[in-house]
Structure 1
Amino acid sequence: MNRVLGVDSGGSGLRIALGLARGGPGETAVRTAGVVTTAEPVRTGAGGIDAEHLLEQVVPAARKLLADADAASPSSAAGGQRVGRLAAVAVGAAGMATLGDDLRARLPGALLDALGVPRLVLAADAVTAYAGALGRRPGAVVAAGTGMIALGTDLVRWRRADGWGHLLGDSGGGAWIGRAGLDAAMRAYDGRRGGSPALLARAEAVLGPAPELPGLLYPRTDRAAVLASFAPEVAACAGDDPVADGILAEAAGHIVDCAAAVCPASGACRVALTGGLFGIGAPLLAPVRARLAARLPHASLADAAGDPLAGALTLAAALAAGAPLLPLDPRLLSVTHP
């Protein structure tokens, strides 16, 4: 049994999990032994995702998880089997595909120095979402939280849609919905067409007076997460407010457009929805289902088996055991051996 570490780095913070993995090249299984959550997203700068900032959060969390595991079972795992060293780490990070150069250059050596990790998977968060949801099967996954990205594979190559960040895309994601809701709120404050008094009331209740919102949002480095925090307020107004209904219907259209772009070209396509955004429930899921049935009659919605953190652990366990991974790609999924 090997110890492996999974990291899910998103727009709202990090989750770091210690897993206990067993199995060999044919098949692996992993169970979660502990999770640490942080509320501070990893910074991005001129060099992309800040490797040093990620390490500042991951290394202490990993050491705590390992110490807790040792304290709970100093010399053996359940059933009397000895728990191995930390054999592999998988990091799934939002923005890895376009902003991951610093991580790819610095993380392998830094994790080897800090934790003695011999093997490392670096993946876009959409890949860990895929691994958690569908495992190693063809299909498509739409991962929606603060941002939004869709990824599909026929197990030979990847197809990707969106995931370009809240300034250039992430259409239909949490920040997109939140920004659209706040736009409608400000329209109502001004008396312009397309405004929603209901969304204005919610914005002022949770964020503060409308004239102060620019000063609240624009200076913040985590403004995408702040925008996404308003998405549940849009969903709460749905059903009673046609503007909120329209925002969520448009978001559903963007989500289905992305699923259509990445589904394997031949055969039936299993589509899984994963990520915190879908936790807002029926106000978003109902229009997504309706549009998916109309746009992709050959596709079927599949329940996600696990979340992106589970996917990171799955990839780490497979790497530790020498089991097959999903298709490698220079920007989406890479393996390093420091």
Structure 2
Amino acid sequence: MKPGERILGVEGGGTKTAWVLVETVLGANASAWEFRLLEQGKLPASNFRLTSPERLRAILAELPKQIDRAGVFLAGCGTEEDRCALKQMCLEIWPNAKIVTGSDRDSGLAAALDQGDGIVVNAGSGSSVTGRRGERIERAGGWGHILGDAGGGYFLSIHALRLVLREHDLGRSEMDFTAKILRVLSLNNLDELVRWVQTADKMELAMLAPVVFEAATGGDGRMMEIIEEGARVLCEYSEAVASRLHLLAPKVVLIGGLFQRDSIYTHAFRRRLKKNLPDARVTTAERAPELGAAWLAAELGDHITVRE
């Protein structure tokens, strides 16, 4: 790599596609590289499994064209076949660039841990837990919303909606949460809500998770139980990954839209993990995954400083 290379980092999931364009510059001691931030932005969701190839091409085509390297890491891009297909798609857009592709797990790990050991817990529309010790990588969850994105936004939303219908079927009084959901979706009644859910996709359902948080913060105990259940599963995955990697006091980094620094979900996760993994050091990510994507595209072994 040489000074002045333009590197595009892209991280896509069920809610958005975040990207950053950086330029490589030599650091003050002339032996370390730095990134100078040129541009950044957000585009629509780009889950590799849930977004059609045509739509995915259209999203990628909106990104900056004049680049030397690109790291494109999307949720759902989990196999070698997926990575090759995504790389070929990228080469159609950037034929002269050096392309690296993979899963959002990879870019999240790079952004959160640099080259260090630890565990990354990602909770957005879906969820995943990924740990590293040396060259060894262990994973839990992240199987998609049908088989197991437990603890993600879809998980929380669908559990809350099922509770609404169960309470209705049992003839109990309408929950305050029902009114909140109807108001957010501009619907009039439960029948309209059911019809909406039957045609909504994963991303649309996951977007209701903030309503679950709002209800729990307002004192709705049943919504708090759903939040606690999501946190419990993610903690179990984290403990399993730590055990397989023999990490007794791991660094645990929280990333994804559900883990804002002071969110009710972040606090629920911290409380529960403290019980079973008391020496874990839990923190929220300081760098965005799209910077991890750019770092992987640079193919450098050391941490790179970012100049604003």
Structure 2 length as normaliser, TM-score?
0.86
Match of 1:301 among 282, 302, 306: 282
* Structure 1 position 177 matched with structure 2 position 156: yes
* Cα drift, residue 231 of structure 1: 0.8
CA gap 1:275/1:96 in 2 versus in 1, 3 angstroms: same
Tell me: CA distance 1:41–1:196, structure 2 relative to 1, closer, same or farther (3 Å): farther
The residue number in structure 2 matching 1:313 is 294
The answer (yes or no) to whether the contact 1:132–1:310 under 8 Å persists in 2 is yes
Q: 1:260 aligns with which of 239, 250, 255?
A: 239
Alignment of 1:25-104 (within 5 A): 27-42=32-47, 44=49, 50-63=52-65, 66=66, 86-97=67-78, 101=81, 103-104=82-83
Structure 1 counterpart SS, 2:259: helix
Offset of residue 43 of structure 1: 6.2
The amino acid of 1:324's aligned partner reads G
Q: Indicate conservation of the 8 Å contact 2:118/2:132, yes or no.
A: yes
Q: In 1, Cα distance between the equivalents of 2:104 and 2:75?
A: 5
Contact 2:7-2:70 at 8 Å conserved across structures: yes
Whether the 8 Å contact between 2:261 and 2:284 is mirrored in structure 1 is no
The one-letter code sitting in structure 2 at the alignment partner of 1:119 is K
Q: What's the CA shift for 1:110?
A: 4.1
Q: Is contact 2:248–2:280 with CA below 8 Å preserved after alignment?
A: no
Decide whether the 8 Å contact of 1:147 with 1:175 is kept in 2.
Answer: yes
Equivalent pair of 1:42/1:53 in contact (CA under 8 Å): no
Q: Does 1:199 align with 2:187?
A: no
Q: Report the residue type matching 2:150 in the other structure.
A: S
CA distance in 1, matches of 2:36, 2:207: 31
Q: Give the Cα separation in 1 of the matches to 2:44 and 2:72.
A: 17
Between the aligned residues of both structures, percent identity stands at 29
CA gap 1:293/1:111 in 2 versus in 1, 3 angstroms: same
Say yes or no: does 1:164 pair with 2:143: yes
C-alpha distance in 2, partners of 1:57/1:142?
26
The answer as to 2:220 corresponding to 1:215 is no
Q: Which residue number corresponds to residue 134 of structure 2? A: 155
Matches within 5 A, 1:262-281: 262-263=241-242, 264-279=245-260, 281=262
Q: How far does residue 267 in structure 1 lie from its aligned partner after superposition?
A: 4.6
Which amino acid letter does the alignment assign opposite residue 149 of structure 1? S
Q: Distance in 1 between the 2:194 and 2:46 partners?
A: 21
**CA distances 1:152-181 after superposition (whole Å, capped 9, x unpaired):** 011212100000111111111111011111
Letter in 2 for 1:11: G
Structure 1 alignment gaps of length 5 or more: 67-85, 327-338
8 A contact 1:196–1:243 mirrored in 2: no
Asked if the contact 2:121/2:238 (under 8 Å) is kept, the reply is: yes
For 2:40, the aligned partner's letter is: V
- CA shift for structure 1 position 87: 2.3
Paired position in structure 1 for 2:108:
129
Deviations 1:48-105 (A, max 9, x none): x644432221123223xx4xxxxxxxxxxxxxxxxxxx2211111101115x73x433
Q: Tell me, in whole angstroms, the C-alpha distance in 1 between the residues paired with 2:91 and 2:48.
A: 22
Unaligned runs of 5+ in 2: 304-308
SS in 1 for 2:121: strand
Q: Is the 2:260–2:284 contact (alpha carbons within 8 Å) kept by the matching residues of 1?
A: no
Cα distance, 1:41 vs structure 2:
3.5
Task: State the alpha-carbon separation in 2 of the partners of residues 92 and 33 from structure 1.
Answer: 20
Call closer, same or farther: CA 1:286–1:266 in 2, change over 3 Å: closer
> Using the alignment, how far apart are the partners of 1:107 and 1:285 within structure 2?
33
Q: 2:230 matched to 1:251?
A: yes
Change (3 A) 1:58 1:196: same
Letter in structure 2 aligned against 1:12: T
AA partner of residue 37 (structure 1): K
**Residues 1:140 and 2:114 aligned together:** no
SS of the residue 2:214 aligns to: helix
The aligned counterpart of 2:306 is: none
2:48–2:75 Cα contact (<8 Å) kept: no
Instruction: Give the deviation of 1:192 after TM superposition.
Output: 5.5
> Which segments of structure 1 move beyond 6 Å, counting only runs of 4 or more?
none
Provide the C-alpha distance between the structure 2 equivalents of 1:283 and 1:23, rounded to a whole number of angstroms.
Answer: 41
- Aligned mates of 2:237, 2:31 — CA distance in 1: 33
TM-score by length of 1: 0.78
CA distance change for structure 1 residues 196 and 34 in 2, over 3 Å: closer, same or farther? farther
Return closer, same or farther for 1:113/1:182 CA change in 2, 3 Å cut-off.
Answer: closer
Secondary structure, counterpart of 1:122 in structure 2? strand
Per-residue CA deviation, residues 294-334 of structure 1 (Å, 9 max, x unaligned), is 111231113422121121122123x2xxx2389xxxxxxxx
Tell me what 1:324 maps to.
Answer: 301
Of 13-22 and 236-245, the range deviating more from structure 2 = 13-22
Q: How many residues align?
A: 293
CA–CA distance in 2 between the matches of 1:248 and 1:104?
33
- Cα RMSD over matched residues? 2.6
Distance in 2, matches of 1:169 and 1:27, equals 41
Q: Is the 8 A contact 1:271 1:300 kept in 2?
A: yes
